[in-house]
């Protein structure tokens, strides 16, 4: 088993996963370093790109052996934005995560690994984030232990795409039941994009928590 030189590329706008990354330990590596700028990453065996939203050019991809992304859908289905949240809204409880060796196209590239996350249907935003992070790092550890024997397979099937979610997607319809909109409440962020509704031209905000 050969040890890998590993880099992690993160986006400063998506720091939710940083604390989780720092707590994770890896056995089969020479070194691991966190970067915020892809241009500074050169000659690494594996670059794990986590919630990075900027365009990555072919020139930068060629600087390293593998450029791996974990996407929260069964690619090529569910390309695009917030796949986990969209699938929760679709009332799915079995979510397939795909790790791919990316190219210049959005969520494109050969599949390195797929794994499943099972939900109970009651998880709220922070719990979903924790489960997502745990699954990402499980897959990362697995692939590090595979190195250098990382196999790749072409994506098969028709591509589908999720659009980018906005604050407006957190609006609740007061004429519908809470039960029918519970999945919408599960994916709202209480601080950044809380649920809300309008009544008599006045906006009201809803924050949801579990009573433990």
- Total Cβ atoms within 10 A of residue 27: 9
Determine the number of helices (DSSP H) and then strands (DSSP E) in the chain: 5, 10
Rounded CA-CA distance 114/203 in Å is 42
Average pLDDT over residues 147-163: 96
Reply yes or no on whether the pLDDT at 26 is more than 80.
no
Band of residue 1 on the pLDDT scale cut at 50, 70, 90: low
Band of residue 142 on the pLDDT scale cut at 50, 70, 90: very high
Residue 185 contacts residue 195 (beta carbons within 8 Å): yes
The residue to which tokens 């060629």 are assigned: 62
Lateral strand order in the sheet of 94-102: 29-35, 4-10, 46-50, 66-71, 94-102, 109-118
**Length reported for the chain:** 212
Reply yes or no on whether the pLDDT at 2 is more than 90.
no
Q: What is the pLDDT of residues 40-83, one digit of tens each?
A: 999 999 999 998 877 788 898 999 999 999 999 999 999 999 99
2: Cα separation from own chain's centroid: 28
DSSP 189: B
Q: What is the pLDDT of residues 86-115, one digit of tens each?
A: 999 999 999 999 999 999 888 999 999 999
Domains of the chain and CATH, by start: 4-161 (3.40.50.170), 166-206 (no CATH)
Q: How many CA atoms, within 13 angstroms, populate the side-chain half-sphere of residue 131?
A: 23
Global confidence as pTM: 0.92
109-139: string of b/e by CB count within 10 Å (b at 16+)?
bebbbeeebebeeebbbeebbebbbebbbbb
């Amino acid at each position: 088993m050969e040890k890998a030189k590993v880099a992690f590329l993160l986006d400063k706008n998506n720091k939710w996963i940083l604390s989780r990354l720092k707590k994770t330990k890896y056995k089969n590596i020479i070194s691991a370093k966190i970067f915020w700028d892809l241009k500074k990453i050169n000659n690494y065996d594996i670059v794990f790109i986590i919630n990075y939203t900027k365009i990555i050019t072919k020139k930068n991809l060629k600087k390293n052996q593998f450029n791996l992304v974990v996407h929260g859908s069964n690619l090529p289905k569910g390309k695009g934005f917030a796949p986990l949240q969209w699938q929760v809204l679709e009332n799915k409880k079995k979510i397939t995560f795909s790790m791919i060796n990316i190219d210049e196209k959005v969520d494109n590239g050969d599949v390195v690994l797929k794994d499943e996350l099972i939900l109970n249907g009651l998880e709220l935003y922070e719990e979903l984030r924790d489960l997502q992070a745990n699954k990402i790092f499980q897959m990362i550890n697995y692939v590090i232990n595979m190195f250098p024997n990382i196999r790749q397979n072409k994506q098969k099937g028709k591509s589908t795409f999720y659009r980018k979610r906005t604050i407006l997607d957190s609006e609740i319809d007061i004429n519908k039941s809470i039960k029918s909109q519970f999945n919408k409440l599960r994916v709202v962020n209480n601080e950044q994009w809380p649920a809300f509704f309008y009544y008599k031209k006045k906006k009201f905000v809803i924050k949801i928590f579990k009573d433990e």
